[in-house]
């Protein structure tokens, strides 16, 4: 991949071209607030062309490949990603405002997804089913056909890796709608895919506005499966649009994920992870742990230690690789500030905050990481996703109260528990309402092998690991009678 590439082009049927209407959108550097490029603004015509190109690839050269051949292409793409790690990370630093080390970690995760699915592609078996003696019955796992992928701005490379990687491995042809705030690494990924030899139309990318390109993709009748990551509100709209042509949908809608700290927790291990799980990527993480539930016996000690850690945190330009970069946009900054201000006015207590470095460019979207107490479990700050570097600390008396608070939101994405009591660990695993539960850990370093997804308003369907492959396939049952 040569940089800088022409970022204002989209990819349809193997051709890089401008949007049919010629429109573009600005690319902003969140660290400065300054525009530094343009991306294409695809409209419904571009989306239609992309979906038809994907269908043609699925029925043509892409669909004709053997599983192991798809695996080889995915493996080659993984190697190309690693070979361009610095360029990809630099793009993400500028486009999303990610601190450089976090951007580099995202590149590695993208490559890991491609490696995982490259290896898994020819291990996706059907089953044989014992039935009447004069039958042979088996199942085939078949791709849906064309899959649509609507991607948010917070982890473009990871989310493209986990959803597009799995969809391609399963044999689907894909149309990707990256977020308007963060399309560059998806475009670069697609350029690499073209260079390593993916057939035309297997991967199509249509950047643009959500209500325009995204809505057109969700509503397109030739899209056979939709994978959406983002807000609850848009997720519902996507599911409704997909329902009109009866397409299955995977929704990953974020959360209000708790970590439960019991009196017997190993606090030396827990404390750094409690904080990191809240401020990583400036809190713009669907699985961010935004609620810290702490048992009363250690509450004061934990709050003091958390506050000390918060006071040492620094936010600043992404390229400086501090604890936090800026938020992705002015709109996101305004939203986070509003939620914190409203909470403080309603009686929340500011326990501690970090700092924004003094020489941060004034146009950047910076906010100091903020630790809050004095919040009741039913308050908005303990119920709604802030999507910024804000954690609330809530005390609890015993296991029952901890579980009631933990399960007391409409979300159910991730939960963590810190306790050395093995019996309690196993009880909690069953009682906590979440798609992933971590014991004496949080996040497991992203683990591409680990199925991920939510319950309740966090969404449905699973990404990552083998579960994603099942989601991107449909089962055909074959009954052959011996006559």
Reported as type and span, the H/E element at residue 268 is: helix 267-279
Packed helices 100-120 and 67-83: angle between N→C axes, nearest 10 degrees: 160
Active site (annotated) includes residue 286: yes
Least separation in angstroms between CB 27 and ligand NAD: 14
- In sequence order, what DSSP letters do the residues of 399-430 get, joined into one string? HHHHHHHHT-SS--SEEEEE-S-HHHHHHHHH
Contact by Cβ (8 Å): 226, 472:
no
Work out the angle at residue 18's Cα, subtended by the Cα atoms of residues 17 and 21, and round it to the nearest 5 degrees. Answer: 135
Least separation in angstroms between CB 6 and ligand NAD: 21
415: tokens are 């939960």
Beta carbon nearer to ligand NAD, 253 or 303: 253
Q: Is 477 helix (H, G, I), strand (E, B) or coil?
A: strand
What residue is closest to ligand NAD based on CB? 210
Least separation in angstroms between CB 324 and ligand NAD: 16
Least separation in angstroms between CB 141 and ligand NAD: 27
The catalytically annotated residue of 180, 181, 252, 355 is 252
Beta carbon nearer to ligand NAD, 87 or 285: 285
Measured CA to CA, the distance from residue 176 to residue 160 in angstroms comes to: 8
Query: Under 8 Å CB-to-CB from 304, ≥6 apart: which residues?
Result: none
Active site (annotated) includes residue 345: no
Beta carbon nearer to ligand NAD, 120 or 146: 146
Packed helices 296-311 and 267-279: angle between N→C axes, nearest 10 degrees: 60
Q: Is 356 helix (H, G, I), strand (E, B) or coil?
A: strand
Measured CA to CA, the distance from residue 146 to residue 474 in angstroms comes to: 12
As beta bridge partners, residue 205 has: 11, 176
Beta carbon nearer to ligand NAD, 104 or 177: 177
Least separation in angstroms between CB 106 and ligand NAD: 13
CA distances from 464 to 34, 65, 475 (A): 35, 23, 19
Least separation in angstroms between CB 188 and ligand NAD: 17
Least separation in angstroms between CB 15 and ligand NAD: 22
Beta carbon nearer to ligand NAD, 285 or 419: 285
Which residues sit at the interface with ligand NAD, rule CB under 6 A?
150-154, 177, 179-180, 210-211, 214-215, 218, 229-231, 234, 237-238, 252-254, 286, 335, 385, 387
Least separation in angstroms between CB 220 and ligand NAD: 11
Measured CA to CA, the distance from residue 33 to residue 483 in angstroms comes to: 72
Beta carbon nearer to ligand NAD, 205 or 253: 253
The catalytically annotated residue of 286, 385, 399, 463 is 286
Q: How deeply is 221 buried, as exposed, middle or buried, from its count of CB atoms within 10 A (0-12, 13-18, 19+)?
A: exposed
Q: In what order do the strands lie in the sheet with 146-150?
A: 15-17, 10-12, 203-205, 173-177, 146-150, 225-229, 249-252, 459-460
- Cβ–Cβ contacts within 10 Å for residue 236, how many? 14
Q: How deeply is 17 buried, as exposed, middle or buried, from its count of CB atoms within 10 A (0-12, 13-18, 19+)?
A: middle
Q: How many residues does the chain have?
A: 483
Beta carbon nearer to ligand NAD, 254 or 317: 254
Beta carbon nearer to ligand NAD, 178 or 199: 178
Residues carrying an active site annotation: 252, 286
């Amino acid at each position: 991949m040569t940089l800088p590439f022409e970022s204002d082009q989209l990819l349809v049927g193997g051709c890089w071209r401008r949007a049919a209407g010629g429109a573009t959108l600005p690319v902003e550097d969140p660290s400065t607030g300054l525009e530094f490029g343009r991306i294409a603004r695809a409209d419904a015509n571009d989306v239609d062309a992309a979906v038809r190109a994907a269908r043609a690839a699925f029925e043509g050269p892409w669909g004709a490949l053997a599983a192991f051949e798809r695996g080889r292409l995915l493996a080659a793409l993984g190697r190309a990603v690693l070979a361009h790690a610095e360029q990809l990370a630099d793009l993400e630093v500028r486009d999303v405002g990610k601190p450089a080390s976090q951007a580099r970690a995202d590149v590695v995760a993208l490559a890991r997804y491609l490696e995982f699915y490259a290896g898994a592609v020819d291990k996706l078996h059907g089953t044989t089913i014992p039935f009447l003696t004069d039958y042979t019955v088996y199942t085939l796992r078949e791709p849906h056909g064309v899959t649509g992928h609507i991607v948010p701005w917070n982890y473009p490379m990871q989310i493209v890796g986990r959803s597009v990687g799995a969809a391609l491995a399963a044999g689907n042809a894909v149309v990707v709608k990256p977020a308007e705030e963060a399309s560059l690494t998806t475009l670069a990924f697609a350029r690499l895919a073209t260079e390593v030899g993916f057939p035309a139309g297997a991967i199509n990318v249509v950047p643009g506005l959500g209500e325009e390109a995204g809505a057109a993709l969700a509503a397109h009748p030739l899209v056979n499966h939709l994978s959406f990551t983002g807000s609850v509100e848009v997720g519902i709209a996507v599911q409704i649009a997909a329902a009109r042509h009866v397409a299955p949908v995977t929704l990953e809608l974020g959360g209000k994920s708790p970590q439960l700290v019991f009196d017997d927790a190993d606090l030396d291990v827990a404390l750094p992870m409690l904080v990191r799980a809240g401020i990583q990527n400036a809190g713009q993480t669907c699985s961010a742990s935004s609620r810290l539930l702490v048992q009363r016996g250690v509450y004061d000690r934990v709050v003091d230690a958390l506050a000390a850690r918060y006071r040492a945190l620094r936010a600043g330009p992404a390229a400086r690789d501090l604890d936090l970069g800026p938020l992705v946009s002015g709109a996101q900054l305004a939203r986070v500030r509003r939620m914190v201000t409203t909470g403080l006015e309603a009686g929340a207590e500011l326990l501690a905050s970090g700092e924004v470095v003094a020489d941060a460019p004034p146009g950047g979207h910076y906010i100091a990481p903020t630790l809050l107490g004095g919040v009741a479990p039913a308050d908005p700050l303990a119920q709604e996703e802030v999507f910024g570097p804000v954690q609330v600390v809530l005390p609890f008396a015993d296991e029952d109260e901890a579980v009631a608070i933990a399960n007391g939101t409409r979300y159910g994405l991730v939960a963590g528990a810190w306790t050395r009591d093995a019996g309690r660990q196993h009880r909690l695993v069953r009682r906590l309402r979440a798609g992933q539960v971590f014991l004496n850990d949080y996040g497991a370093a992203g683990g591409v092998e680990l199925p991920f997804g939510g319950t309740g308003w966090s969404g449905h369907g699973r990404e990552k690991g083998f579960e994603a492959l099942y989601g991107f396939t449909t089962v055909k049952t074959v009954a052959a009678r011996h006559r």
